Chains A and B, each alone.
Chain A
Amino acid sequence: MIQFQYERASTAKAAVNALTNNANAKIIAGGTNLVDLMKRNVMAPTKLVDINALPLREIRQQDGKISIGAMALNSQVADDKLIIEKHPLLSQALNAGASAQIRNMASVGGNMMQRTRCHYFYDTALPCNKREPGSGCGAMEGMNRMHAVFGTSEKCIAVHPSDMCIALVALDATVLVTGPKGDRRIPFEELHRLPGNQPEKDNNLQKDELIISVEIPDNSFSKNSHYMKIRDRASYAFALVSVAAALNIEGKVIKEARLAMGGVAHKPWRLKEAEKALVGKPATEETFRQAAEIAMQGAKAYKHNAFKLKLGPNVIVEALKNAAGLV
């Protein structure tokens, strides 16, 4: 770890200023991801801007939506009454991530901005275009069991590791950010990006922008939603594949559907075509199977992750079955 400066921001503006004034400054929230990366010399900010003192922990019902502050803790959100009642999918997804101890430190903003767990990204002795542009992608021909099957590029096949974000993308969330030019709103689906030619860029946030909150519009999914995460042990492991499924069922017919996948792409992977295929159909296993097939169109496997092409649709079906109460 290199030596760095530390500043505790007392206003959002001060935090943004600190970022603007130092190209190598980084926000620190819970530190559960950033500090690990610093210890391994994967990231080396020369300044840390601590935003823990900012009043960004609130979870609020506003007209037609719920707003969650960027500094709300993962555990706090997961246990929040309002969230459990209105968006149980988000609560489930949060509880599927990391461990209780980490969730007690991790913030909502930090969770969105957490970086990939690709082994090559973490080891400075190995090539990685994301960590060191131009050094090559270690995973492409290497150990890529955990890697993406959607939206990959020649430069990078990493996945975004978050569980929370899979629920948020399914729930049509919007992210509020502030920067030197003022505030702006980013639809959740546009927050993260595909690797393309710039795998070093995980998302569309500007270097000196700060996430203030995330908003979830009210919906009719609370009765029929499910987050299913398949991993290498029963808890405390990143997803091989995860699925956030949310249905609005009237009678036996699906009126609305939301579907997103984790562990398969560089960004939380929303499955809009599959959603369309669900709407207007009966909530049966057969419908789900058809949607799952559509969902997997365009998926491409690498040496060790071909299983995701089979596991993916199975988990979609299982998640939908659970959401619909068929299990």
Chain B
Amino acid sequence: MNEAFFDKKEYKPLDRVDGRLKVTGAAKYSAEYPLPNMAFAVLVGSRIAKGTIKSIDSKAAERAPGVLAVISHLNAIKVPGYQPKGEHPSEPSTNGQPLRVFFDNKIVSNDQPIVAVVATSLEKAQYGASLVKIQYIKEQHKTDLEANAGDAKLAAAAKKNPKSPTADYDRGQKDAFESAPVKFEAEYVLPTEVHNPMELQSIIAHWEADNKLTVYDKVQGTKMTQKNFAKEWDIPEENVKCIATFVGGAFGNGLHNWPHETAAIIAAKQVKRPVKLVLTREQMFTMVGYRPRTWQKIQVGATRDGKLVAINHQSIGQTSSYEEFTESTLMQTRMMYASPSVSTRYRILPLNVATPIWMRGPGEATGAFALESAMDEVAHAIGMDPIDFRLANYTESDPDKNMPWSTKYMRECYEEGKKRIGWKNRKLKPGEVRDGEWLVGYGMGTGTFGANRGPATVHAELDKEGNLVMHCAITDIGPGTGTAMVQIASNTTGISTDKITFHLGSSEFPNAGLQGGSSTVNSVGPAVLAACNALKEQLITMAAAKGNSAFTSAKPDDLMFNKSELQLGGKSAKTTLADLFKQNNLEKIETTNESKPDENRNKYSMNAFSMHFAMVHVHPFTGQVRVKKIVCCADAGTIVSPKTAESQMIGGATGGIGMALTEDAVMDHRFGRYVTKDLGDYHVPVHADVPDIDVYFVNKPDLLADPVGSKGLGEIAIIGVAPAIANAVFNATGKRVRELPITPDKLI
């Protein structure tokens, strides 16, 4: 193992390697490739939630200046991959038949894309789109989760496989809750939330030849996209190229290929020109997924001195009528606390809405709102400090999987978080602390997410000047992947960071999975490590072959660059890169290395953990909540890029503030249509909502999880924030809000 390597060096904060490109506008996002002869497509969405299209009158649109085509199910070319009963090409978790755009006249959700108007400019396409007249035959729709909760069902995957994470789960004694000395029961509701990254979903589809497709596409997986479109268009994978060099935030909505992408590809084929399609902000609410509205009920049984006896946790999350989206809402209830009895019941409810998709902290963030609120409520009921209550039920190993943790450093997080937030100022009884007119409250919540890892391959090239250039298909949706990889390479080789380049975001590059599930550093990082070590081995072999005996038995870990010199285990330089390359008559050396999860995954339970602390002020008469301070503690393994990692935590906490206090996609169920669907009405936190966010990393490597020692960060950054704030609001006011967001009307 690599322990020595980590003992030797410390990862230092590094500015984003692409920061300058981003702030100067030089970074190119999907919609920013000026291809010659480009056409522009605008999508028209349905105005009913269920039914059929009776007629489409496109005459006026077709006659409008600059309009090249008006495409719908009436005239769209046949997409070879539209199987009548096809399975989803990529997403196991959205089991079912993804929406086939322009396939037939069926309407399955409101604002479903049904017509594309393609024109020579965006404005002309927009004008054309305003002229299309569509008539519908309406059918009764169902969009209301609570009203239709009775129709909730087990996911197909769970029916097939009782071991599936969404299957019913029981541990311990069935009726343990009933006989517990302290019984607590409550329901919690999380509204639909929408990712709303800054960058709108956009694609340029370009058929370079009849069977050769290039897409500049805002996605979280270039290889996934390549595979999906190869399948959809029945062309060889190598004929599809997906470019996503820069992605302006995604939070999960790029983990699925959506109908608008296929619409652009169809349009490009039909007008025989590259077609650019950018969704509107409103379409971001209806066409690219969202965090599903979820109802939860939780029962917690405990002893009077704070030992958990049982937790029963059930949830119903909405999905579309055509795909079964599931997420891990109830998973942490099984493993976070040492409750001898645990039951979970996960259900989905198909409605006439579009398919949801993973959104930051998917499932866990939803589940944590219920679980961590309930923990706070029980602690209050038995008069115990909520941290003491959690510590009394700390799990030393995973009670769900019956395996030891690879690492778990939550005790450190409790200690540090308490100190930093000023927990000692918290009173057990709510409503006791004031600052002027304002009530002051403290709360906390924990979170966890699997330390996921998948296979990844990196190609690396070292030239005689000591420049290291790497390539990998992974995307960077904002966390600073390039920066992190440069830091890993620099720490592994000793090459200074300004001589290292990491190219990403193209399906032309070596394989990597999706940027999702906090798996990038854990998956691609080890491949970078492997490639760097392979290069070092080549250098050692070269040096040894030239009679440099000190190198004969050297290991990659012994070799480090010191500027252009190669040093062995701290001894003085034996050779220089230039000499070595010259002696061997080489311009560069290169390597391609894959790194994969190993058998440790069958022996240990691997999780990253987070803990958020909030201090809030609540105005007793106006109901305003001001988050005054947030402390984020993370046990995420090695922090390879301290600066971007801190930014990740700040971003996650900010998302958590939105979840707790402001974000709510409100639907009018009479129409099955959202009414808050722009950034004026759907409130993401603004600067004034976001206080100082103090970040603490345990920063201890988990070398069982992967050779970099990292456990992932993106998801845990948000999980637990909303309950921390809700708990703080309760501590301030004595009012418990169980349906998010906590807006002023709920507190007066």
Contact = CB atoms under 8 A, between A and B. Distances in A.
A99 B673 CA distance: 28
B748 A141 contact: no
B661 A233 contact: yes
Which among A230, A231, A315 has the highest number of chain B CB atoms within 10 Å?
A230
Contacts of A315: 621-622
B675 A236 contact: no
Contacts of A117: 680-681
B668 A138 contact: yes
A141 B670 CA distance: 9
Contact of A314 (B436, B622, B670): B622
Contacts of B623: 230, 311
Nearest to A306: B745
A180 interface: no
B668 A2 contact: no
Which among A119, A232, A235 has the highest number of chain B CB atoms within 10 Å?
A232
A80 interface: no
Interface of chain A: mostly helix, strand, loop or mixed:
loop
B47 interface: yes
B676 A119 contact: yes
A126 B668 CA distance: 10
Contacts of B126: 1
Contacts of B686: 99, 233-236
B481 to A, nearest CB: 31
Contact of B675 (A119, A238, A310, A314): A119
A120 interface: yes
A294 to B, nearest CB: 18
Nearest to B676: A119
A45 B324 CA distance: 45
A142 interface: yes
Nearest to B678: A122
A123 B436 contact: no
A231 B689 CA distance: 12
A315 B681 CA distance: 22
A307 B745 contact: yes
B680 A235 contact: no
Contacts of B675: 119-120, 123, 126, 142-143
B130 interface: yes
A317 interface: yes
Interface string B475-511: 0000000000000000000000000000000000000
Contacts of B130: 1-2, 41
Contacts of A234: 624, 626, 686, 688-689
A143 B668 contact: yes
B127 A2 contact: yes
Contact of A3 (B127, B670, B673, B744): B127
B668 A318 contact: no
Nearest to A319: B622
Nearest to B681: A119
A317 B748 CA distance: 14
Contacts of A238: 680
A20 to B, nearest CB: 28
B677 to A, nearest CB: 8
B212 interface: no
B313 to A, nearest CB: 30
B687 interface: yes
Interface residues of A, number: 35
A116 B405 CA distance: 56
A214 interface: no
B622 A123 contact: no
A14 to B, nearest CB: 28
A53 interface: no
A245 interface: no
Nearest to A39: B126
B82 interface: no
Nearest to A317: B621
Nearest to A307: B745
B146 interface: no
A41 B42 CA distance: 15
B670 A142 contact: yes
Nearest to A235: B688
Contact of B683 (A123, A138, A232, A327): A232
Interface in B621-678: 621-624, 626, 661-662, 666, 668, 670-671, 673, 675-676
B671 A327 contact: no
A192 B319 CA distance: 45
Interface string A71-83: 0000000000000
Nearest to B667: A143
Contacts of B666: 143
A46 B388 CA distance: 68
Interface string A300-313: 00000001001100
A126 B126 CA distance: 20
A240 interface: yes
B3 to A, nearest CB: 47
B743 interface: yes
B112 to A, nearest CB: 12
Interface string B670-708: 110101100011010111110000000000000000000
A145 interface: yes
Contacts of A99: 686
B729 to A, nearest CB: 15
B437 interface: yes
A237 interface: yes
B358 to A, nearest CB: 25
Contact of A237 (B673, B683, B748): B683
Contacts of B680: 117, 237-238
Contacts of A237: 680, 683
A318 B623 CA distance: 12
Contacts of B57: none
A125 B47 contact: yes
Given A1-B127, A120-B675, A230 B744 contact: yes
A96 B6 CA distance: 52
A318 B688 CA distance: 21
B318 to A, nearest CB: 18
B569 to A, nearest CB: 56
A234 B691 CA distance: 11
Contacts of B662: 232-233
Contacts of A142: 668, 670, 675
Nearest to B65: A3
Contact of A232 (B123, B127, B670, B744): B744
Interface string A83-101: 0000000000000000100
A111 to B, nearest CB: 16
B745 A240 contact: yes
Nearest to B745: A307
Contacts of A120: 675
Nearest to B684: A233
A167 B546 CA distance: 85
A3 B676 CA distance: 28
A249 B576 CA distance: 84
Interface string B422-445: 000000000000001100000000
B622 to A, nearest CB: 5
A123 B127 contact: no
A126 B622 contact: no
Closest A-B pairs by Cβ, 8 of them: A307-B745, A234-B688, A119-B675, A235-B688, A125-B47, A314-B621, A234-B689, A233-B683
10 contacts: A117-B680, A117-B681, A138-B668, A143-B668, A232-B662, A234-B689, A240-B745, A311-B744, A318-B622, A327-B436
Given A126-B675, A311-B623, 19 more contacts: A2-B130, A119-B676, A125-B47, A125-B673, A126-B671, A138-B668, A143-B668, A143-B675, A228-B622, A231-B744, A232-B683, A232-B744, A233-B662, A233-B686, A235-B687, A240-B745, A311-B745, A327-B436, A327-B437
